[in-house]
Chains A and B, each alone.
Chain A
Amino acid sequence: MNGISKDLRLERVVIIMYEAVIGLEVHVELKTSSKIFCGCSTSFGAMANTQVCPICLGMPGVLPVLNKKVVEYAVLVGMALNCEIASFAKMDRKNYFYPDLPKAYQISQYDLPLCKNGFLEIETEKGPKRIGITRIHIEEDAGKLTHEGDTISESQGSLVDFNRGGVPLIEIVSEPDIRSSEEATAYLDGLKSILQYLDVSDCKMEEGSLRCDGNISIRLSGSREFGTKTEIKNLNSFKSLQKALDFEYERQVKTLRKGEKVIQETRTWDEGKGITLPLRSKEEAHDYRYFPEPDLVPIKVDAGWLDDIREKMPELPRAKKKRYVETFELPVYDADVLTRDRELALYYEEALTYYPDAKKLSNWIMAEFLKLINQQQVPVSQSLARPKDLADLLTAVDQGAISNKVAKIVFEEMFHTGKKPHTIIKEKGFVQISDEASLAGIIEKVIDNNSKSVEDYKNGRLQALGFLVGQVMRDTKGQANPQLVNQILKEKLNTK
């Protein structure tokens, strides 16, 4: 064996031997109307500094008052993620200076978070796996900085908008139970799905209402020790989460293989270059000097309040999926597709109240509806074709008013214009000829003009029937009801 192949073999062995140890910290903006400590609106996209007040600007003398809904939303998420809900929680101050942080401290939770010790189950190649949730706490968001010039280091100054400052956040911290970037995306996807089901957040990564940081270290497979971790910021899409973790895993493996050590540091994902880079180290290590927030009193969640919150708990994706399979007798695949997005599931369920064939409806939604949704990139909730309209369309097909093929054309128009199916059918003249008398005349004519095929049919060549049907359809410009044509043709041919 020569040297080169030996090296290659070694390399393979080494790569296989390292496993990734990943934990995610996810910040979720809650969908309350007002901010966490003041009455300013949380809506996105307003002109800079128009949704601010003395409180969220951190003016001297102002005091925070906690928005009750923030606590309820956080507890709801905690319940959905199988957490213990604290009967006694408190707020703390996390101290650091940054221009987007008005008070120079963030009101957050330190040692007594609202929720802890939960889990989220994800699907992996090896079956379901539980990812532990260490804690969920509530805190306030910071404002938004824009740097003059192209990069932060080239700019002469930065501009601060405090509209986002004080928007309520929950921070969901996972245990380091994730072993690959695939598991990480599955976890984030599962989390997003639950949050959307609970209707507590928009979860729009592109608008920053769902943000993810990752901690990753590597270790020899099977080892119980943890390696030195790096924290990766700026993972602002599922794709960048996956790519950054893959990159960082490879980087750490290479570092160790070179005999060097992984440095504990914060790195940022550079989407353009496809690499992680160390964040320029601050002139000091952070020391957040947490201490109890004296301006806010403790939070006590008693059994009665828990019950009230639990009543607001909707059916979650897993339960829904199970019900679709058991009650609607849908294939697991269908149930999975339909329940992944809460809006889609709601759409399906609403349509189902008007059109009871669960499987036929599922086929339509998965094939036609999702095709258009994906093409047009519109959220399900904003689709112009409403569930009842889809149900009406399918009923029209069943009643023979239009063919399945025509229905697809009609649906596309419904999707783009929001018109009712019957309006489109009428406007486009798609109504099937289902009137026996008028069809009978056309069919007679076809029989007369195609005696060869009639003969063939009578001699047992059944495919001749298809040709005759086709002729009828051609003569009616496709508007004849095919089943009816079939039936009449057979009757006439058999009596001839």
Chain B
Amino acid sequence: MELYYYTINELQNKIRNKEISITEITQSVLDRISEVESKVKAYLTLMQDQGLKKAKELDDQLMNGEDLPALAGIPMAVKDNMCIEGVKTTCASKILDNFIPPYNATVIEKLAGQKAILLGKLNMDEYAMGSSTENSSFFKTANPWDLTKVPGGSSGGSAAAVSAGEAFFALGSDTGGSIRQPASFCGVVGLKPTYGRVSRYGLVAYASSLDQIGPFTRDVTDAAIVLQAIAGHDSLDSTSAKLPVPDYRSSLTGDIKGIRIGIAREYFPEELNPQVKEVVLKAAEQLESMGAHVEECSMPHTEHALTSYYIIAPAEASANLARFDGVRYGYRSPGSKDLMSMYMATRQEGFGPEVKRRIMLGTYVLSSGYYDAYYLRALKVRTLVKNDFDAAFKKYDCILTPTSPTVAFDIGERIDDPISMYLADLFTIPANMAGLPAISVPCGFSEGLPVGLQLTCKAFDEETLLKTAYAYEQNNEWYKQRPSIGKSGDNNV
């Protein structure tokens, strides 16, 4: 296997045993980037020189016999909505295309402490609003499995980079499925931790009560390793939980005997792609054969999670994105004669259509006379969605569903139809609404494109989540599949 397709777990051993230098590892990824990036287009900012310099430093430290932390020397990248001091952070938006933060996000501090090698910033839907990464103001990212397909979104750059061998792992953010859905489209593992498990400090907010940072990796072991590195209480984030972080790797036993798994029937509607359905149900059977108790259950408010999400998230976003006003940073429309026209033109020119659509929607549902009918009602429905899960977790340890109703769709297919785009998040949104941890793991293919299996567990029970996902993964070969990017034999253009 090519070096750039190793897992973190494998690299850790090779680095520790000095079988391979960190510079070689880093160079292999940089070479891979030069090879495929023109097709995949995952990176918005590439930090090649800093990466190599850091690799060299770490190699020297290794030579001196220093003990290095778990992620030391692992080249990785983050979605471009996490602030890195001195490095452009754009959120794939024209309005921020020149913004250089004077501070680090907490996850960046943690990765720096782990001596991971930061290779750059990854493409995304502008301000994390979208399910295809087509809403980036700069360029579209392609799905490594089929370059005519979207990688999913909004963390499409993160999913594509890990899938294409352009990073050993990546961080994304998940507000309504923005980690799990692209992970499923790109055939990698995507984990959304419990709300409050990973600090949001320095993550440019889309919908603050739903946003959560999490890893993209090539297998569940790596997801556990990265989560270990980024989880934990942060005094800079008031919503960060003051709970100890367990040792996640020790939960990867492969033994799931007795685990109770519920299959929520609302996640298998008629519109569900039949092949996706088949693949996911097969996974359920397999888990049962491995000793889990699998049973059908009902989560009646599932459908309403999506609709209420499209009130709550835009409402929060309309306030979160108000700060992009051309006063302190970012783009300002030139030549405005007064403040009002400066505001109006800056935001018209700076934001893309989907962002504007959600700002408008969010402003409307909060406006005088409509708050109760829309926003307050949506918050109440959120309670019902949460109650569904609370009830289910009295009987089950884990809820099993497809990650997305479809496999990756064509670039351009849904861009003019907001609602069909919103439906891509139908199965992922409920976990955000209830703040629960959820993971997408590869579970097969449909029409040559990866399908993701979604597991959801109780708040702060990432251990059961990882344990179950790991057991499933190890019983299969799906996670070992790699795309052959742009090579003859696949249906790339």
A interface with B by C-beta (< 8 Å): 54, 57-66, 93, 95, 97, 99, 102-105, 158, 160, 283, 287, 289-291, 294-297
Contact = CB atoms under 8 A, between A and B. Distances in A.
Interface in B352-405: 363, 366-368, 371, 375
A99 B326 CA distance: 9
Nearest to B364: A289
B83 to A, nearest CB: 5
Given A97-B322, A104-B323, A291-B319, A61 B203 contact: yes
27 contacts: A57-B328, A59-B102, A59-B329, A60-B89, A61-B83, A61-B105, A61-B201, A61-B203, A62-B103, A63-B236, A95-B318, A95-B319, A95-B366, A99-B327, A158-B339, A283-B340, A287-B368, A289-B363, A289-B366, A291-B366, A291-B371, A291-B375, A294-B208, A294-B209, A294-B316, A295-B205, A295-B208
Interface in B99-158: 99, 101-103, 105
Interface of B: 81-83, 89, 91, 96, 99, 101-103, 105, 200-205, 207-209, 235-239, 315-316, 318-319, 322-325, 327-329, 339-340, 343, 363, 366-368, 371, 375
Interface of B is mostly: loop
Contacts of A57: 328
B235 A65 contact: yes
Contacts of A62: 103, 201-202
B308 to A, nearest CB: 14
Contacts of B367: 287, 289
A161 to B, nearest CB: 12
Chain B CB within 10 Å, residue with most, of A64, A93, A294:
A294
A85 B103 CA distance: 38
A54 B103 contact: yes
Contacts of B83: 59-61
Contact of A99 (B205, B207, B339, B375): B339
A64 B320 CA distance: 13
A260 B288 CA distance: 81
Nearest to B235: A65
A61 B202 contact: yes
Contact of B236 (A58, A65, A296, A297): A65
B91 A60 contact: yes
Contacts of B328: 57-59, 102
B322 A105 contact: yes
Contacts of A64: 238
Contact of A63 (B201, B318, B371): B201
Nearest to B99: A60
B196 to A, nearest CB: 10
A63 B96 contact: no
B101 A297 contact: no
Interface centre among A57, A59, A93, A103 (most CB of B within 10 A): A59
A329 B322 CA distance: 61
A7 B454 CA distance: 86
A290 B236 CA distance: 24
A251 B422 CA distance: 56
A66 B239 CA distance: 12
A104 B327 CA distance: 10
A304 B329 CA distance: 44
Contacts of A61: 81-83, 89, 101, 105, 201-205
A93 B319 contact: yes
Contacts of B327: 99, 102, 160
Contacts of A289: 318-319, 363, 366-368, 371
Given A95-B366, A160-B327, 16 more contacts: A54-B102, A57-B328, A59-B83, A60-B91, A60-B96, A60-B99, A60-B101, A60-B329, A62-B103, A62-B201, A63-B237, A65-B235, A95-B322, A289-B368, A291-B371, A294-B208
Contacts of A65: 235-238
Contacts of B239: 63, 294-295, 297
Contacts of A295: 205, 208, 238-239
